[in-house]
Chain A
Amino acid sequence: DAGVIQSPRHEVTEMGQEVTLRCKPISGHDYLFWYRQTMMRGLELLIYFNNNVPIDDSGMPEDRFSAKMPNASFSNLKIQPSEPRDSAVYFCASSFGEQPQHFGDGTRLSIL
Chain B
Amino acid sequence: GAVVSQHPSWVICKSGTSVKIECRSLDFQATTMFWYRQFPKQSLMLMATSNEGSKATYEQGVEKDKFLINHASLTLSTLTVTSAHPEDSSFYICSAYKSGTRADTQYFGPGTRLTVL
State yes or no: do A and B come from one complex. no
Residues of B bordering A, CB below 8 Å: none
